[in-house]
Amino acid sequence: MGSARSSRRGTRMVDVSAKRPTMREAAAEGAIRMSPATLEAVMRRALPKGDALAAAEIAGVMAAKSTPRLLPLCHPVPLSGVTVEAVCDAELPGVRVGASVRGKASTGFEMEALLAASVALLTIYDMAKALEPGMVIGPVALRRKSGGKSGRWARKAE
């Protein structure tokens, strides 16, 4: 590495071996905005690729299970349960996605919940983009988490 010194710390996975495994849960949410016509096609399951809501929910579960492969510094954690729900919202107009992840581990499940919600939203975009490439995803945010030393946290209502 030569003689040049850097003050940059190395990238590393945090060592959680001293932390006691506890039941933990995290929930995230997000939305995708689209025209009323595109939303109607989503609701009628009339998209060229099929049922976007069902596909999004399955994709979100798969994403939660794949988190440590996609985010290099996340610990592989034993998931006890993953729930993803995609719901049409005419007032948005668009689809709201909620994801919750739980299990017993030495570290939390925030990234699994956020990734599940994000991938579910991207799946809806992928399935409806032929009708409307200008859909907008976001924001995606952690809604709440519990377990571990820090206990409970919840986002304040906006």
Give the pLDDT band (50/70/90) at residue 84: very high
Residue 85 belongs to some domain of the structure: yes
CB atoms within 10 A of CB 62: 16
State the pLDDT at residue 13.
Answer: 86
Checking if the pLDDT of 77 tops 80, the result is: yes
Give the pLDDT band (50/70/90) at residue 148: confident
How many domains in the chain?
A: 1
Checking if the pLDDT of 43 tops 80, the result is: yes
- DSSP codes joined into one string, 91-121: TTTEEEEEEEEEEEESS--HHHHHHHHHHHH
Residue 157 belongs to some domain of the structure: no
Query: What's 134's domain CATH number?
Result: 3.30.70.640
Residue 65 belongs to some domain of the structure: yes
State the pLDDT at residue 18.
Answer: 84
The string of pLDDT tens digits covering residues 101-120 is 999 998 889 999 999 999 99
Determine the Cα–Cα distance for residues 67 and 118; give it in Å rounded to an integer: 12
Note down the domain range covering 132.
Answer: 22-147
Residue 76 belongs to some domain of the structure: yes
Residue 158 belongs to some domain of the structure: no
Which residues are designated catalytic? 126
CB atoms within 10 A of CB 141: 12
Give the pLDDT band (50/70/90) at residue 45: very high
pLDDT above 70: percentage of residues in the chain? 94
Residue 2 belongs to some domain of the structure: no
Give the pLDDT band (50/70/90) at residue 1: very low
State the pLDDT at residue 157.
Answer: 80
